[in-house]
């Protein structure tokens, strides 16, 4: 392995990692493909501030000119947000070609985990993860994020998963792959825009310290793979489930009619849901990302103290 020569760790991030100080990684597909401009850039910059306010150093991850970046400048975040869907969405399988060709890439949860692990960052905050799509029995559409969680030692803090996925099958898949799924202050899986999915997670954790101990022990035991933390959206931003479920159903029908598939599916569904809800879903989406960033930063602080 010789990945160091492709990796640029921002000085502030490298210093914190070296000293065992708290760092939180952030993904960039959510910037280029998950939200519209300019809210995507505004959110990405605010998320970094939330992490700082909670005592950790943010490291937004992306690929710029073929370089793996852990820690971006404001200008680079602005560029990824403004360029939007024209930036390649990079999951694990895309990584070699994008780097070999010196291209730019927005990193998914899977790729962000890979680069975070290379940079020595154990925890990462995002909105939602990819999972087993509805109809996967026919389409085989299962996000590479799940395989990555089984392989790469990074804890991912998310707001559960959107009902664009088959949530029960996503949990089954994670169980098969040996990925702990932990609920923050609840034993119910969060459903992204709403707090409730009606499904149980493996364990409830009640504090950042509780979570940090689980991460620490998993590492000490030498178990491969990550941990998935489901952190419900704050009550005041939670959406009406009927409204959001209807929008999701409509978006999925449209995707089927248009023959959308592969890596286009998730960005298509996210954009359609935002339009169908008249943008209402975007505010919730932004708030849940801040909430996840705060929990990830507090956990990184607790982990540094162990």
Cβ atoms within 10 A of the Cβ of 4, count?
11
Closer Cβ to ligand PSU, 51 or 301, answer by number: 51
Query: Three-state DSSP class for 142?
Result: strand
Query: Three-state DSSP class for 184?
Result: strand
Give the separation between CA 46 and CA 35, rounded to whole angstroms. Answer: 14
Considering only 109, 115, 211, 300, the residue that binds ligand PSU (CB under 6 A) is 109
Q: Per-residue x/- mask for ligand PSU, residues 216 to 255, rule CB under 6 A?
A: ----------------------------------------
- Rounded least distance, CB 146 to ligand PSU, Å: 9
> Does 27 engage in binding with ligand PSU (CB under 6 A)?
yes
Tokens 């370089």 -> residue: 67
- Rounded least distance, CB 265 to ligand PSU, Å: 6
Q: Which of 174, 283, 151 is nearest to 230 (CA)?
A: 174
Closer Cβ to Mn ion, 215 or 255, answer by number: 255
Choose the binding region for Mn ion from 6-14, 42-50, 107-115, 139-147 (rule: CB under 5 A): 139-147
Q: Per-residue x/- mask for ligand PSU, residues 138 to 167, rule CB under 6 A?
A: -----xxx----------------x-----
> Does 134 engage in binding with ligand PSU (CB under 6 A)?
no
Q: Which of 115, 106, 98 is nearest to 41 (CA)?
A: 106
User: ω into residue 211 within 30 of 0, thus cis?
Assistant: no
DSSP H helical segments within 162-264, as ranges?
Answer: 167-176, 208-220, 241-258
Q: Which of 302, 305, 300 is nearest to 24 (CA)?
A: 300
> Does 270 engage in binding with ligand PSU (CB under 6 A)?
yes
Considering only 78, 104, 141, 148, the residue that binds Mn ion (CB under 5 A) is 141
Choose the binding region for ligand PSU from 27-35, 60-68, 114-122, 241-249 (rule: CB under 6 A): 27-35
> Does 128 engage in binding with ligand PSU (CB under 6 A)?
yes
Which residues lie closer than 8 Å to 140 by C-beta, 6 or more apart?
none
Q: Where are the beta strands (DSSP E) in the chain?
A: 7-9, 23-26, 57-64, 67-70, 88-90, 105-107, 123-125, 155-158, 181-184, 203-205, 227-230
60: partner contacted, choices ligand PSU, Mn ion, none (Cβ within 5-8 A by kind): none
Q: Per-residue x/- mask for ligand PSU, residues 41 to 80, rule CB under 6 A?
A: ----------------------------------------
> Does 25 engage in binding with ligand PSU (CB under 6 A)?
no
Tokens 């954790």 -> residue: 205
Do 146 and 165 contact (CB within 8 A), yes or no? no
Task: Give backbone dihedrals phi and psi of 171, rounded to 5 degrees, phi first.
Answer: -65, -40
Cβ atoms within 10 A of the Cβ of 20, count?
12
Active-site residues, by number, are 27, 162
- Rounded least distance, CB 18 to ligand PSU, Å: 28
193: partner contacted, choices Mn ion, ligand PSU, none (Cβ within 5-8 A by kind): none
Residues that bind Mn ion (CB under 5 A): 141
Residues that bind ligand PSU (CB under 6 A): 27, 29-30, 34, 91, 108-109, 127-130, 143-145, 162, 192, 263, 266, 270
């Amino acid at each position: 392995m010789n990945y160091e020569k492709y990796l640029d760790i921002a000085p502030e991030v490298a210093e914190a990692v070296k000293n065992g100080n708290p760092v939180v990684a952030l993904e960039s597909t959510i910037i280029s493909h998950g939200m519209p401009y300019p809210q995507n850039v505004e959110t990405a910059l605010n998320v970094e501030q939330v992490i700082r306010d909670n005592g950790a150093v943010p490291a937004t991850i992306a690929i710029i000119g073929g370089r793996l970046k852990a820690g971006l400048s404001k200008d680079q975040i602005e560029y990824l947000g403004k360029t939007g869907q024209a930036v390649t969405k990079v999951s694990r399988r895309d990584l070699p070609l994008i780097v070999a060709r010196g291209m730019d890439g927005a990193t998914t949860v899977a790729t962000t985990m890979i680069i975070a692990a290379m940079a020595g960052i154990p925890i990462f905050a995002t909105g939602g993860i990819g999972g087993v799509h509805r109809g996967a029995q026919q389409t085989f559409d299962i996000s590479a994020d799940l395989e990555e969680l089984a392989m790469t030692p990074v804890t991912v803090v998310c707001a559960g998963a959107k009902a664009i996925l088959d949530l029960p099958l996503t949990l089954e898949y994670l169980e098969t792959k040996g990925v702990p799924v932990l609920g923050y202050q609840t034993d119910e899986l969060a459903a992204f825009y709403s707090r409730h999915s009606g499904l149980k997670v493996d364990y409830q954790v009640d504090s950042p310290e509780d979570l940090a101990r689980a991460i620490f022990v998993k590492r000490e035991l030498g178990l491969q793979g990550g941990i998935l933390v489901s952190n419900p959206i704050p009550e005041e931003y939670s959406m009406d489930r009927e409204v959001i479920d209807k929008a999701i159903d409509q978006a999925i029908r449209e995707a089927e009619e248009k023959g959308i598939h592969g890596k286009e599916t998730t960005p298509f569904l996210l954009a359609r849901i935002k339009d169908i809800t008249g943008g209402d879903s975007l505010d919730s989406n932004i708030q849940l990302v801040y909430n996840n960033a705060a929990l990830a930063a507090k956990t990184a602080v607790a982990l540094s103290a162990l």
